[in-house]
Amino acid sequence: MEWNGQKAREAIEAFAFGPEELIAAVEVFKSEIGKGLAGDAESTLKPLPSYLGLPTGEEQGEFITLDFGGTNVRAEHVRLFGGGKYVQAARVAKPLIVPGRYNHAGRGASAAGLFGFLAEIIDAVLGGDHETPYRLGHTFSFPSAQDSPRDAKLLSWTKELAVPDVEGRWVNERLNEALLSRGLSNVRPTAILNDTVAVLLAAAYQWDGVAIGSIYATGFNACYLEEFGGEKQPMVMNLEAGNFGWLDQNEYDLALDAASEKKGEQTLEKMVSGRYLGALFSRAFGDILGETFPAVSGEDLCRIIQGEGAALLRRMAGIPLTDEQIGECVALAEAIVRRSARIAAAVYVGTFRHILGNAALGVQNIAVEGSFFTHMGIARVALRDALQEILKDEAKYVQVLHVTGGASLGAAIAAAMIEG
Ligand code: BGC
């Protein structure tokens, strides 16, 4: 095995996402939203209705929330006081997979096992209280069809989940069955919503002028409030931005896609979200060394970028890499993350362009939640730079708000909005 310097430079270049690509992506993203809303089957974006508008900020009550996102499952006890005030308490969180112990995410998992696991976590957050009645807000972070905010039918797993017999099923109905068989008839699943919608609701509960809700974590996605030109009630629409299909994939993107659970789907997400960037790095690193390597984790990718990954990279390669070669690895990791953030910027601005048409931008807030985005400083800088590059003088109007706990808070708000 040896380091191929030429390949290293080509790999870094393969992840470039230049100014023309950036501007083109904004335009195509905007037009795909319009086509998707008009029901054009060819559009790779099919905005999904949430049947929720924005909260007033005065919603109140005590709720149990469940956040089922793809890596961890969290249940919380949330109290809303109105006036944008709330308390989140009694949190129980468990990973969907603990290697060697259990796996509630893969092909070998079962729907009964998964929903039983969700009910077990809800039971734990209640401390075994099977008496006090609670309404449950459920953040379910996968593309789902709804005809009300009360239940959602899973259209397709994403983020490599593959549990059989859940696609095409009503999720809250299954959850309710699992709660009943655990003796939790006091907990009533009331609302179900996408995590991006939860983030938008959570932000709008506290601040004015929030236009977009987004998750930039294991998965990537965004939602916004669609006004429907005043014809119908405004409604938050889940864009399922990760499925946008008009970006040029390089050889590593194509190889990653070919080895994924859902080939040809979620191609933007596979270039942007934390679930995949470590795998892209490992593929390119392997190509440079003529080997194959398992995906590095998001945390390791972070370490590599911060210049703390030399030992890891040398151990992976099994040969003594020079400092210069380690420097090229850092540049490769940076290029992967920078491309991710530039694509995210194109999604946000494309969505603004859809919302505003030809009107001037004005003050706009984007509420973003996600461990990847929070921990990856370079992604935040690259996003800001890309917004500046696209919007020029207007970039000063756009604020990126970092939200934490939005998935649970938004779920409680949704439950309050329905019954309120
Ligand atoms: C899902 C979205 C979700 C996003 C962030 C994607 O894989 O399709 O519904 O919002 O991940 O969790």
Q: What is the mean pLDDT of the chain?
A: 96
pLDDT tier at 1, thresholds 50, 70, 90: confident
Nearest ligand 1 atom to the CA of 159 is 7
Domain ranges in the chain are: 60-194
Asked if the model's pLDDT at residue 420 lies above 70, the reply is no
Dump pLDDT digits (tens) for 179-215.
999 999 999 999 999 999 999 999 999 999 999 999 9
The DSSP string of 142-191 is: S-EEEEETTEEEE----TT---TT-TTSBHHHHHHHHHHHTT-TTEEEEE
Q: What CATH fold (topology level) applies to the domain 60-194?
A: Nucleotidyltransferase; domain 5 (3.30.420)
Of 350, 412, 336, 337, residue with least CA distance to 387? 350
Dump pLDDT digits (tens) for 251-274.
999 999 999 999 999 999 999 999
pLDDT tier at 358, thresholds 50, 70, 90: confident
Q: Out of 329-338, 379-388, 411-420, which region has the weakest mean confidence (pLDDT)? A: 411-420
The whole-number pLDDT of residue 230 equals 76
The whole-number pLDDT of residue 373 equals 86
Q: How far is the CA of 326 from the centre of ligand 1 (A)?
A: 33
The DSSP string of 278-337 is: HHHHHHHHHHHHTS--PPPPHHHHHHHHTT--HHHHHHHH-S---HHHHHHHHHHHHHHH
Q: How far is the CA of 239 from the centre of ligand 1 (A)?
A: 10
**Integer CA distances (angstroms), 53 to 10, 85, 234, 381, 389, in order:** 47, 19, 6, 31, 32
Burial class (CB in 10 A: 0-12, 13-18, 19+), 57: middle
- Which of 216, 240, 268 gets mutated to test ligand 1 (max ligand atoms within 8 A of its CB)? 240
Dump pLDDT digits (tens) for 107-138.
999 999 999 999 999 999 999 999 999 999 99
